[in-house]
Amino acid sequence: MEISANPQPIERLKLSEQAREAIRSRIISGEFPMGEKLTESGLVRLLGVSKSPIREALLQLEREGLIVLSANRTTRVFSMGASEIAELGELRLILESEAMRLACSRNPGPLARDLSDIVGRMEQALALDDSDTYKLLDHDFHRAIFEHCGNSYVEANFRMLSFRVQALRNRLSLDPKLNARSLQEHRRICDMVLSGEFDRALALLKNHISETTTNYLNRVADSDHGEASALPTVRIALAEMERFSRAALAAVGADTATVDAVTRALMHASTLGVDTHGFRLLPHYLRALAGGRINRRPSPRVAGGTGAACVLDADNAHGALATYQAVEIAIDKAREFGIGAVAIRGSSHFGAAGAYATEIARQGLMGLTFCNSDAFVRLHGGAERFHGTNPIAAAAPAEDGPPWLLDMATSSIPYNRVLLSQSIGIPLPENVASDTHGMNVTDPAAAEMLAPLGGALFGYKGAGLAGLSEVLSSAFSDAPLSAELPPMVSDDMSTPRGLGAFVLVLDPAAFSGAAAFRAVMTRYLKAIRQSAVAADQQVMAPGDREWKEAESRRVIGLKLDETTLVSLGEFARRNSIEALQVLSADG
């Protein structure tokens, strides 16, 4: 770390706090660049204090997410790739939208006065070409929304979030034209609050945050300095993603049935916005197929059963191929017996459980799918990883429109939430994660395992649901328990994992009748959507959010993060297949 500033000794009062403020201000201003290595000796010379308060300050800044301390005690300023910037923007959008809604309902007068005052000073700063002051006032504008929201927890979360937002603003908002447009947007938001048009103010705020995030991502894409060292998140047309997926899977030697099934399952997830189980998994699947963990040309077979039930030995096939074949078998049995059940063994990761339940519903029947996974969730009151996230999915058809669709994990939160909180330096909610001793933690860096759905008092319910998925996936097929499964993320891409899964199909014709069933489901969905809503809340039927996202993605394309894009680009070059064609950068 090169330090050119003249050392300014700090007074001896609360040295660690003053050191923290001094280091934080240099990170936020950009004096300490993203990824910059910080040394204790350099900070001692700069700030004129001993190592002890420096070390304490660095620990505090780590909790704020502004620095990263590695296992060998190397200290670096945080850095953010495009996907992390996009995720930070998404989180900011969630928090600030809620803060604006609360502030407008609880303290509209004080909020309007403060925003008006700040915008006036922003205009003065811009007229004087004082961009540094303008950026500080930009921060004050958004802070005022949180200060008037009347919720100390929301405000505290903004404080942790704001450090990184300020740092990004100072690094990436370098175009004077963007500042001029920013001022117009802030003035319009303020005018709507002053006139009492709070819904319009909220809509303008959401658009402002989204556009700001997009501008940051565009700046990263155009930067020659490589601070974020990443490609932007991109949009890719669904047909183009399908074309590439098929070509890539064929390139590793997968048979036609595997290519079809894997692409179909990934397309379901990415179209509905379940990106954690969408095409971001394709690089992993390609490695597993190439390495032999997943059988590229399997021969699944019915290994036993009677009447409406059977076991499908998947021959270490990809989970999508095994489960879609189980769906076909279970549907045939349900049409004959009213119910069809297939237990799967010798399978692998099957992605989004809802893909298979949805396929069943589209054929006019009700479907339920279950799968266990390698252990990462403790029991209620437990102190070790025991269950996987063990998803449960169910779908049922209605007269018109998409089916009722439930697709859920049985853990308190997805593990990706832990990674996001760690990335941006904000705490986890209470009672969703535990340390190595099973004690609840809010520090994402200390999270060793997830808590079951239901929280501290009712986690036994989530553990019970996980157990349901465990029993159906393992006991009926004689497959490994979650704690016995090899981990999905591993250097070993040659040893099959042998997962189990379970598919259950019910034919309405054997019960109330197909027409009656669809009519009841239609009334049920209508009743949900028209039910009374609590103040400032929203009621949605299971699947509504996903179907709405699917409509959008069919027009603007699916979202792919830069890590996956780079990985697939390298795969394309190595295997001489046409690279993915990108539609546009996305925030």
CA-nearest of 10, 94, 88 to 48 is 10
Rounded (10°) CA dihedral 48, 52, 53, 56: 140
pLDDT of residue 437: 92
For 230, which DSSP code?
A: S
On the CB side of 93, CA atoms within 13 Å amount to 18
- Who contacts 175 (Cβ-Cβ below 8 Å, separation ≥6)? none
Structure tokens at 515: 């027409």
Backbone φ/ψ region at 532: left (φ over 0), alpha (ψ -120 to 50), beta: beta
pLDDT of residue 82: 66
Amino acid at 106: R
CB atoms within 10 A of CB 150: 14
What are the boundaries of each domain within the chain?
A: 15-77, 82-222, 261-412+451-553, 415-450
State whether CATH 1.20.120.530 applies to domain 82-222: yes
Three-state SS sequence of 440-498: ECCCHHHCCEECECCHHHHHHHHHHHHHHHHHHHHHCCCCCCHHHCCCCCCCCCCCCCC
For 375, which DSSP code?
A: -
Question: What does the angle CA 551 – CA 553 – CA 559 come to, to the nearest 5 degrees?
Answer: 155
Per the CATH hierarchy, to which homologous superfamily does domain 415-450 belong?
A: Hypothetical oxidoreductase yiak; domain 3 (3.30.60.50)
CA-nearest of 211, 214, 282, 206 to 251 is 282
The DSSP string of 539-585 is ---TTHHHHHHHHHHHHH-EEE-HHHHHHHHHHHHHHT-PPPPP-EE
Structure tokens at 241: 């993603």
State in words which class domain 261-412+451-553 has.
alpha beta
Whether 377 contacts 386, CB under 8 Å: yes
pLDDT of residue 173: 56
pLDDT of residue 214: 73
pLDDT of residue 114: 96
Amino acid at 18: Q
pTM score: 0.63
By residue count, the chain amounts to 587
pLDDT tens-place values along the chain, 587 residues long: 444 444 444 444 478 888 888 898 888 877 787 778 888 888 888 888 888 888 888 888 888 888 887 656 678 888 776 667 888 888 889 999 999 999 999 999 999 999 999 999 999 988 888 887 888 899 899 999 999 999 998 888 888 788 888 887 776 555 566 677 788 889 999 999 999 999 999 989 988 888 777 767 666 544 433 333 333 467 899 999 999 999 999 999 999 999 999 999 999 999 998 888 899 899 999 999 999 999 999 999 999 999 999 999 999 999 999 999 999 999 999 999 999 999 999 999 999 999 999 999 999 999 999 999 999 999 999 999 999 999 999 999 999 899 999 999 999 987 766 765 665 456 788 899 999 999 999 888 889 999 999 988 999 999 999 999 999 999 999 999 999 999 887 888 999 999 999 999 999 999 999 999 999 999 999 999 999 988 777 899 999 999 988 988 888 889 887 778 889 999 999 999 999 998 765 54
The DSSP string of 119-164 is HHHHHHHHHTT-HHHHHHHHHHHHHHHHHTSS-HHHHHHHHHHHHH
DSSP E strands: which ranges in 240-398?
301-306, 309-313, 339-347, 366-371, 392-396
Whether 356 contacts 323, CB under 8 Å: yes
On the CB side of 471, CA atoms within 13 Å amount to 6
Grouping H, G, I as helix, E, B as strand and the rest as coil, residue 67 is strand
CA-nearest of 569, 558, 566 to 269 is 558
CA-nearest of 320, 317, 279 to 296 is 317
CA distance 125 to 141: 14
CA-nearest of 484, 293, 461 to 386 is 484
Q: Is 195 exposed, middle or buried (0-12, 13-18, 19+ CB in 10 A)?
A: exposed
State whether CATH 1.10.10.10 applies to domain 15-77: yes
